[in-house]
Each structure stands twice: as C-alpha cells, then as structure tokens.
Amino acid sequence: MNAASAPVLTIDGPSGSGKGTISRLVAGRLGWHYLDSGALYRAVAVAAGWAVLDLSDHAALVRCTQATEVAFRDTPGGEPRVLVNGVDATDELRTETAGAAASAIAAIPEVRAALTARQRAFCQPPGLVADGRDMGTVIFPEATFKVFLTASAEERAHRRYKQLKDKGVSVTIDGLLQEIVARDARDANRAVAPLRPAPDAVLIDTTGLAVEAVVARVLELMPASRP
C-alpha cells in the first residue's frame, strides 16, 4: 500500500459499533472509495455455505477463498450490493449465520493472507475509507488516519435487533447479546490479527451518539483531506 499516493482512513471496531454506516457516510462526504472488508469474509462464508463446506476443513476454505469472486455494485438508492460468484448475495451476507461463519473463517491465517492483497487493491486516488477489524493494524498499518469505534454490547445488540426486525427477521435481544459477546471474544482472542485498536488510532465510543455526531467527529480528525 502506497499511502503517499492515496490517503487512507481506517475505521475499525467490533460488530454493531456503527463502523459500516459511518464509513459509508464519511467516504461519501469525502468523495473517496469505500472498502467493506467484512463483506469479503462474509462472501467467503456464504460461498462456503453454498458448497456445504465444513468450517473445520481449513484447506477447503482456503481453496474456496481463492476461488470466490466478489464484486460490489452501487445502486441508485446508494446502498451497495454484493455479488458472490455473480449472484447478488447482499441480504444473505447480513444474516447472523453468515456473520458467525465469517468470524470463524477469519481466524484462519491462510484465509486472511489470501484476502490481504484484495483489500489493499482498494487503495486508489483520491483516497480510501476502509472499514473492518484489522484495517489499521494489519491491512493499512501506515494509514494516514485511524479510528476505532466502540459501543457497549447492550447498545450494539439493540442496534442489530432494530436492523433485523426492520427486515422482518425474528430475533431476540438476549440472543443477539449472547452472539455479540461471543463474537467479541473470538475476534479479540484469535491468534492472527486480533480485534484491537491500532496504537495511533483515535477511539470514539458511539454509545448514545447519533450517526451524524459520529460522522462529524471523524471528519474533524482529517481537515487537510476534506473537500
């Protein structure tokens, strides 16, 4: 990654911290490219599910990662769609099943290595906003700007509950809270690229904050790159 040719803003954080929403809005305000790194892992998880692969078969998952084609398409409404091997899998990617499988797959070093080059290829002028869990620590360690978003587990569970209920998915707050706590533990304790703030990242607790307030805080960190 050549940080000198294109500035990078990394926005990392746990599930439900708001990093996807904030990253998309900030990228739009700046006119920069946007990378949803989690969608790449979820895409592999969905492809593995379609192939009925055993998540304990690491060799098969690595082959699946290398063979899976992922493409992002913008829509007139502004919501990006994700194509997995030519199939629009956007809704399936956002399920709790895909999220849990992606978390397990992301712990496999060879899978992470296979996706590293794909992620770094998103770094193009005029700039990139990269959303994920290890953007500032592993993928873009020399990023110009780094942010780490967080929020209480309870707040994140309520946010996810609202998102899923709005889509007609039947879930419970307690169930989502348990899943979030379990995923936090997996992501923070995995041997490769554990979830943690980069030493030079600015931490923002989004608990109780409106989306626009968080966007404003992020933009305040990078005045030199604002249009």
pLDDT tens across 4-32, in order? 479 999 999 998 899 999 999 999 999 99
What are the residues whose beta carbons fall under 8 Å from the beta carbon of 105, sequence distance 6 or more?
Answer: 41, 44, 45, 48, 55, 61, 65, 111
Query: Which of 3-7, 80-84, 99-103, 187-191 bottoms out in mean pLDDT, i.e. has the lowest?
Result: 3-7
Of residues 61, 58, 56, 23, the one with CA closest to residue 43: 61
Structure tokens at 116: 């590293």
pLDDT tens, residue by residue, 196-217: 999 999 999 999 999 999 999 9
Query: What's residue 1's pLDDT?
Result: 44
- Identity of the residue numbered 127: G
Taking residues 109-129, report their average pLDDT.
93
Residues 135 and 154: beta-carbon distance below 8 Å: no
Taking residues 131-140, report their average pLDDT.
94
68 vs 187 pLDDT, higher one:
68
Report the percent of the chain where pLDDT is more than 70.
95
Q: pLDDT tier at 224 (50, 70, 90 boundaries)?
A: low
Q: pLDDT tier at 3 (50, 70, 90 boundaries)?
A: very low
Report the percent of the chain where pLDDT is more than 90.
70
- Rounded Cα distance, 13 and 134, in Å: 9
Query: What's residue 10's pLDDT?
Result: 97
- Identity of the residue numbered 67: A
